[in-house]
């Protein structure tokens, strides 16, 4: 059986998918981290409060793109919108990085 899903329905499904990831949101003085667990060394998402720069792990972007058969650029838009709604702040710049890149390293992790 095949189903036709409109673009807006895919956006809603992807948003629900992100909501169900149960990210732990940790607010630091300069950044907000979205992590799978508070014991993780690297965050999936890091938002810089000072300049609105948001880094997302490539793994998360690829997961959304693959699962919903979206182009990376469409997944980026959905993720940005989800982040903005989650933190009530504007994402001014957006970057994709490997999950073990320093931009996603949690500073207090030992």
* pLDDT number for residue 7: 74
Mean pLDDT over each residue of the chain, to the nearest integer:
88
pLDDT band at 8 (very low <50, low <70, confident <90, very high): confident
* pLDDT number for residue 40: 83
Q: Which residues pair with 42 in a beta bridge?
A: 105
Among 36, 13, 32, 12, smallest CA distance to 24 is for 36
pLDDT digits over 66-75, tens only?
Answer: 999 899 999 9
CA 77 to chain centre: 10
* pLDDT number for residue 110: 47
- Tokens representing 110 are 């030992």
């Amino acid at each position: 059986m095949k189903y036709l899903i409109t673009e807006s329905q895919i956006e809603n499904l992807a948003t629900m998918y992100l909501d169900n990831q149960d990210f732990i949101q940790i607010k630091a003085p300069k950044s907000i981290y979205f992590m799978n667990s508070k014991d993780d060394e690297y965050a999936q998402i890091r938002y810089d409060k000072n300049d609105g720069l948001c880094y997302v792990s490539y793994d998360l972007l690829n997961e959304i793109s693959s699962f919903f058969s979206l182009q990376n650029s469409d997944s980026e838009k959905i993720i940005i919108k989800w982040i903005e709604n989650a933190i009530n702040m504007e994402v001014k710049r957006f970057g994709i990085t490997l999950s073990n890149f320093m931009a996603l390293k949690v500073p207090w992790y030992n």
